[in-house]
Amino acid sequence: GQNIDQPTEMTATEGAIVQINCTYQTSGFNGLFWYQQHAGEAPTFLSYNVLDGLEEKGRFSSFLSRSKGYSYLLLKELQMKDSASYLCAVRSVTGGSYIPTFGRGTSLIVHP
Amino acid sequence: NAGVTQTPKFRVLKTGQSMTLLCAQDMNHEYMYWYRQDPGMGLRLIHYSVGEGTTAKGEVPDGYNVSRLKKQNFLLGLESAAPSQTSVYFCASSLVGQGVYEQYFGPGTRLTVT
């Protein structure tokens, strides 16, 4: 089985930087995804890491350490619209199929 | 492109009733998935399909059945609904393989079982 842990809730101030951590235990690791989900909406893709290191995309960056089973999503210059749930998903190879498993999500509240 | 669509958007069922949720995608994706999302539980995989005519169980398959008769459609059935199946159901699709191949999600179906 897989075990994926994220903090349940975080709060931050507009304009600040916030780091959302995700730790995982899995066999057959084949990539880690971050998704954003606003209340009442579907998740949308933010980032993907399969090799160790940092991937940067504008205000969002994601980091992966496979040896430590650890990833983080870094959000810079926070805006009110960044208030959402952030989902970490680990893809593993199971019986030849590539299947993602999601953590419980981190609810981020950005206040003025 | 419509992407991933789901029908219906909302539904209220009585305990014991049956229903089918329809998911359609127009991106020619091989993989399709059904998830349920409950408060504090994240997205949990019910069933998935790696291609037309194939289905497999996910993390929480009990009480649900699925079919993938056409590549673009993935149906989720509840034969005898129970209050524990009150949830938001998301369908998703993706390409196959080791690349980025992120999932694309439908807008969700909010199901209440009374």
- Structure-model confidence comparison of residues B41 and A54, the more confident one: A54
The mean pLDDT of chain A is 95
Nearest to B100 among A8, A48, A99 (CB): A48
Handedness of CA B7, A37, A44, A34 (dihedral sign): negative
Nearest to B50 among A87, A97, A103 (CB): A97
A67 to A24, A26, A29, A103, B71: CA distances (angstroms) = 11, 11, 11, 19, 37
pLDDT number for residue B40: 82
Residue contact A104–B106, C-beta within 8 A: no
Q: Which residues contact A49 (CB under 8 A, 6 or more apart)?
A: A31, A32, A55, A62, A63, A64, A71
Nearest to A33 among B50, B102, B106 (CB): B102
Q: Which residues contact B27 (CB under 8 A, 6 or more apart)?
A: B1, B3, B4, B93, B104
A107 to A27, A70, A78, B27, B96: CA distances (angstroms) = 27, 19, 14, 30, 30
What band does A1 get if pLDDT is binned at 50, 70 and 90? low
Residue contact B48–A99, C-beta within 8 A: yes
A15: closest CA of chain B, how far (Å): 27
Give which of A80, A88, A83, A92 is closest to A20, Cα–Cα: A88
pLDDT at B96 over 90: no
For A48-85, the pLDDT digits (tens) are 999 999 999 999 999 999 999 999 999 999 999 999 99
Other CB atoms within a 10 A radius of the CB of residue B107 amount to 15
pLDDT number for residue A95: 80
For B50-93, the pLDDT digits (tens) are 999 999 999 999 999 999 999 999 999 999 999 999 999 999 99
pLDDT number for residue A97: 87
